[in-house]
Amino acid sequence: MAAETPRTLPRKSATFDDYTLSEIRRAAATGIYDIRGGGAKRQMPHFDDLLFLGASMSRYPLEGYRETCGTKVVLGTQFAKNPIELDIPITIAGMSFGSLSAPAKEALGRGATIAGTSTTTGDGGMTPEERGQSKTLVYQYLPSRYGMNPDDLRKADAIEVVVGQGAKPGGGGMLLGQKISDRVAEMRDLPKGIDQRSACRHPDWTGPDDLAIKIQELREITNWEKPVYIKISGTRPFYDTALCVKAGADVVVLDGMQGGTAATQEVFIEHVGQPTLACIRPAVDALQELGVHRKVQLVISGGIRNGADVAKALALGADAVSIGTAALVALGDNDPALEAEYNKLGTTAGAYDDWHEGRDPAGISTQDPELARRLDPVAAGRRLANYLKVMTLEAQTIARACGKSHVNNLEPEDLVALTVEAAAMARVPLSGTEWIPGQGKY
Amino acid sequence: MAELDLKQLGVRGVNSALHGLVDGANEQDWLITNPMGQHAIACGLDAPLNVTIKGHVGFYCGGMNQHAAITIQGHAGVGVAENMMSGRVRVTGSASDSAGATAHGGLLVIEGDASSRCGISMKGIDIVVGGSVGHMSGFMAQSGHLVVCGDASDALGDSIYEAILFVRGDVSSLGADCIEKEMRPEHLAKLTELLAAAGMEGEPAEFRRYGSARELYNFDIDNADAY
């Protein structure tokens, strides 16, 4: 009996992998691009590719639990009469009521307040729950101006002019009709149930020269009391940061492509923008070149997950960081306890990103009253506060190990990189070498 | 009438003086002299004041106005009465881009022409323009009324929601999802009311009404050519 001819194993294409094939089939069946929430999911250089060196013969560490390592940060020291003082250098990023439920917004406010930091509104305006529960609230000024009014502007502690978002630089947004409840519709001055587009450009200014005048107007309306932030996406961070300074920003918020969105095209999220890690040094360069580093504060967002990420962003020159996706996870988003319900939606815990559909079993990215009721804003706020405190403790632990009495004293010299790419982006030496790609010593 | 000389006080000084006034303050009538085309004059007012500005103004004059009646005796720069909530703003000359942008309420009257994007993203304001308006006027207009006694340039009412547009003259072209609609008696009555409130002459029957076809309210891939 002749032996069977040996056969090679079935081999799948690295180019046409399972995900790619599924997307082709989905597109062919529906005729529409894929929409989802969240930020870039692809692998890319990130903070995990950096390591701290810690103290050694030439550096003295500080004693954990004994010697102070400060975490307070003041934002808006340039022009505002009333800068923002935060206990920790981690803020909550802008997320709208509309994309998020009222209990979720309330929980963000509660958690941020307990932890001594700020939270931020989003497209759609300011809700009383959010203002009521947020000791420090940043009011976003967006192209759509949904819900924008001078009374809320005056109630805010700071104003954030949104120019871009890391998940979709140059893109607007769309809140699909199924999430437009009566309350959301009323706040946005539009009929219930229709898609609500958020424009990609502001309606009454174009470019940094105009923006400087717009900021003057916002300052005049609020009697120069509030810090004015400008939020930009991670595209051309050196020039964009410089232009923010020119336009009169007190604070620059720079959002890399891992930063989340409530909903946009998958192709946009994954293929437009730059990794957060690649954006920080050019932005700091711009501030230093203009002589305003630490005077105009830099807040970094996009994929911040733990105290190590916080410490690394600060070491590279940021004054603070901002979290969105991680904050939602702390509230209860993508909890494995809800696996059966995620399965019914055709996904799994950890991968659920159809936030625009409004069927979130965790009650966070929904306007369905029954689903929203599942989220206890007090308990969720407590979880967020715990998480923020852990992140802060972690950052302090690292800073002390590097001999720093304040987390903002961390510096690039404390870091090395594990990969050539990360070394080039962060401009720190490749581990075990003195080589910083692009800067000689190879 | 109390006078505020902007040349002496600067924009901050003028606005600070006006912001300090509340409903029922002794002096309700104010004259701002020497505006010199400066920006953000009389923005953020929050009391039923009568403010007259003698001369041309720059960007965002009367921005986010609440309750005040502001008259600009001259031309206005970009974004006059942007995001106004209530009250009145009157421009005796012409206005630049984005007049009345995103405004929620009140009445904006422009006796001359208005440039492009007049009433962009308007959210309830009534705007009456004595002359013509530039391209993309009424872009993404959500609610309120835009009355144009002259002509309208290209792409009028592009991506319009529930705002109502009245134009007496020619319309170069209509934007996506904007169509001409029947002028019913209630529209003639509203137009008559708006013209009277603005102090504009005009026969309502000479106007045509435009609004949303509501075809693009919910995304449909078969409408992709329209986006």
A204, B60: Cβ pair inside 8 Å? yes
Q: Please state, as a whole number, how many other Cβ atoms lie within 10 Å of the Cβ of residue A368.
A: 16
What per-residue confidence (pLDDT) applies to B140? 95
Q: Does B116 touch chain A (CB under 8 A)?
A: no
Minimum distance, in Å, between the CA of residue A342 and any CA atom of chain B: 25
Strand boundaries in B22-110, DSSP class E: 29-33, 50-54, 69-73, 88-91, 107-110
pLDDT band at B25 (very low <50, low <70, confident <90, very high): confident
To 10 degrees, the CA torsion angle through B76, B20, A134, A257? 20
| Of residues B58, B139, B218, nearest to A194 (C-beta) | B218
| Of residues A32, A177, A204, nearest to B98 (C-beta) | A204
pLDDT band at A422 (very low <50, low <70, confident <90, very high): very high
The β-bridge partners of A52 are A415
Cα–Cα distance, B34 to B45 (Å, whole number): 19
pLDDT digits (tens, 9 = 90+) for A207-245: 999 999 999 999 999 999 999 999 999 999 999 999 999
Name residues whose C-beta falls within 8 Å of residue B42's C-beta, 6 or more positions apart in sequence. B14, B15, B18, B32, B51, B53, B61, B62, B65, B68, B70
B:1-30 residues touching chain A, CB 8 A cutoff: 11-12, 15-16, 19
Average pLDDT over residues B113-129: 98
ipTM of the prediction greater than 0.90, yes or no:
yes
All residues of chain A having their beta carbon less than 8 Å from the beta carbon of residue B160 are: none
| B44: region left, alpha or beta (phi > 0 left; psi from -120 to 50 alpha) | left
Name residues whose C-beta falls within 8 Å of residue A291's C-beta, 6 or more positions apart in sequence. none
| Of residues B44, B159, B221, nearest to A220 (C-beta) | B44
B:27-86 residues touching chain A, CB 8 A cutoff: 39-40, 43-44, 46, 58-60, 63-64, 66, 78-79, 82-83, 85
Indicate whether this model's pTM tops 0.90. yes
Residue at token pair 């008696």: B185
Contact A238, A8 (CB under 8 A): no
Minimum distance, in Å, between the CA of residue B203 and any CA atom of chain A: 30
Cα–Cα distance, A18 to A22 (Å, whole number): 6
Residue at token pair 């360069």: A285
| Of residues B64, B98, B162, nearest to A203 (C-beta) | B98
Sign of the alpha-carbon dihedral angle for A277, A278, A281, A284:
negative
All residues of chain A having their beta carbon less than 8 Å from the beta carbon of residue B120 are: 203-204
Q: Does B219 touch chain A (CB under 8 A)?
A: yes
Cα–Cα distance, A117 to A310 (Å, whole number): 14
Cα–Cα distance, A247 to B21 (Å, whole number): 30
CATH architecture, range B2-214: 3 Solenoid (2.160)
Minimum distance, in Å, between the CA of residue B220 and any CA atom of chain A: 9
B40, A177: Cβ pair inside 8 Å? no
All residues of chain A having their beta carbon less than 8 Å from the beta carbon of residue B142 are: 188-190
Contact B193, B136 (CB under 8 A): no
Residue at token pair 């309120």: B144
| Of residues B19, B78, B123, nearest to A189 (C-beta) | B123
Q: Please state, as a whole number, how many other Cβ atoms lie within 10 Å of the Cβ of residue A9.
A: 5
Contact A394, A381 (CB under 8 A): no
Of the listed ranges A180-194, A348-362, B126-140, the one predicted with least confidence = A180-194
Q: Which residue of A has its CA nearest to B227?
A: A197
Q: Does A150 touch chain B (CB under 8 A)?
A: yes
Percent of chain A residues past pLDDT 70, beyond the cut: 98
Radius of gyration of the CA atoms of chain A, in A: 22
Cα–Cα distance, A87 to A345 (Å, whole number): 40
Cα–Cα distance, A202 to A210 (Å, whole number): 11
* Burial of A93 from C-beta contacts in 10 A (0-12 / 13-18 / 19+): buried
Contact B195, B201 (CB under 8 A): yes
Q: Does A186 touch chain B (CB under 8 A)?
A: no
Q: Does A79 touch chain B (CB under 8 A)?
A: no
Q: Does A177 touch chain B (CB under 8 A)?
A: yes
Of A173, A104, A88, A99, the residue nearest A408 (C-alpha): A88
Q: Which residue of A has its CA nearest to B220?
A: A32
All residues of chain A having their beta carbon less than 8 Å from the beta carbon of residue B19 are: 223
B78, A210: Cβ pair inside 8 Å? yes
Task: Kindly tell me if the per-residue pLDDT of A442 is higher than 60.
Answer: no
Contact B101, A204 (CB under 8 A): yes
Average pLDDT over residues B68-93: 98
What per-residue confidence (pLDDT) applies to B226? 65
pLDDT band at A344 (very low <50, low <70, confident <90, very high): very high
Helical residues (DSSP H) of B33-138, grouped into ranges: none
Contact A231, A241 (CB under 8 A): no
Sign of the alpha-carbon dihedral angle for A215, A218, A223, A227:
negative
Per DSSP bridges, beta strands A297-301 and A251-255 are parallel
Q: Does B227 touch chain A (CB under 8 A)?
A: no
* Count of CA atoms in the C-beta half-sphere (13 A) of A404: 23
What per-residue confidence (pLDDT) applies to A304? 98
- Kind plus residue range of the DSSP H or E element containing A371: helix A369-372
Radius of gyration of the CA atoms of chain B, in A: 18
What per-residue confidence (pLDDT) applies to B70? 98
Cα–Cα distance, A258 to A256 (Å, whole number): 6
What per-residue confidence (pLDDT) applies to A195? 81
Task: Please provide residue A326's backbone torsions phi and psi, each rounded to the nearest 5 degrees.
Answer: -60, -35
B97, A204: Cβ pair inside 8 Å? yes
pLDDT band at A198 (very low <50, low <70, confident <90, very high): confident
Cα–Cα distance, A106 to A112 (Å, whole number): 10
| Of residues A145, A195, A220, nearest to B40 (C-beta) | A220
What per-residue confidence (pLDDT) applies to B191? 98
Cα–Cα distance, B91 to B103 (Å, whole number): 16
What per-residue confidence (pLDDT) applies to A289? 98
Chosen from B32, B43, B216 to mutate, greatest number of chain A CBs within 10 A: B43
What 3-state class would DSSP assign to A191?
coil
B59, A174: Cβ pair inside 8 Å? no
User: Which sequence spans correspond to the domains of chain B?
Assistant: 2-214
What per-residue confidence (pLDDT) applies to B14? 98
Residue at token pair 């300011």: A126
Q: Does B225 touch chain A (CB under 8 A)?
A: no
Structure tokens at A133: 């529960």
What 3-state class would DSSP assign to B10?
helix
pLDDT band at A58 (very low <50, low <70, confident <90, very high): confident
Of the listed ranges A57-61, B166-170, B198-202, the one predicted with least confidence = A57-61
What per-residue confidence (pLDDT) applies to A98? 85
A216, B39: Cβ pair inside 8 Å? yes
A203, B58: Cβ pair inside 8 Å? no
What per-residue confidence (pLDDT) applies to A173? 75
Cα–Cα distance, A222 to A227 (Å, whole number): 10
pLDDT band at A288 (very low <50, low <70, confident <90, very high): very high
Cα–Cα distance, A379 to A400 (Å, whole number): 31
Percent of chain A residues past pLDDT 90, beyond the cut: 84
CA separation (Å) from A388 to A106, A310, A393?
A: 16, 11, 9
Q: What is the DSSP letter of B96?
A: -
Per DSSP bridges, beta strands A415-417 and A50-52 are antiparallel
Q: Does A178 touch chain B (CB under 8 A)?
A: no
* Domains located in chain A, CATH noted: 46-410 (3.20.20.70)
